[in-house]
Amino acid sequence: MADDVTDPLEIRPGYQLKRAAAAAMSDLNDRLSVLDLRQVDASVMLMIQAEPNVIASHIGRVLDIKSANMVPLLRRLEERGLIEKVPLDGKSHGLHLTAAGETIMIEANAILDRFETDLMERIPAEHREHLAPALRAIWHSDT
């Protein structure tokens, strides 16, 4: 009888988006857990990989991570030997991947690529090219 219960929220796009994002991020975190990484760790490391010497505040702005949360996140990655701080000027430090960080990112990028492929394959082919622009329209509507 419980299977007959309808979900009145299912018709609401915001609810659908929330559920889809939660399911996708849960899947991604499960996949990254084999590297003892979370999605946020991989995102930060991708930013550092793409832009060596990037400063923490820039990563925080791009990924919408508060400074109070960024400090322990970076400390954890640094303690694992995956990133290092490099002095840029008198007060700023750039971030670099260590050799261990570069190695783990080879595996993380493979996991991310497979995740993205699997995610897109779940979407009907006729909707795939519209998904990213539609999500960006929602995401960037307040800027």
The domain limits of the chain are 33-118
Distance between CA 143 and CA 115 in Å, rounded? 28
- 33-118 — its CATH code? 1.10.10.10
Q: What is the pLDDT of residues 4-14, one digit of tens each?
A: 678 888 888 89
- Give the bridge partners for 97, in sequence order: 83
Q: What is the pLDDT of residues 25-65, one digit of tens each?
A: 999 999 999 999 999 999 999 999 999 999 999 999 999 99
Question: pTM to 2 decimals?
Answer: 0.85
Distance between CA 131 and CA 116 in Å, rounded? 12
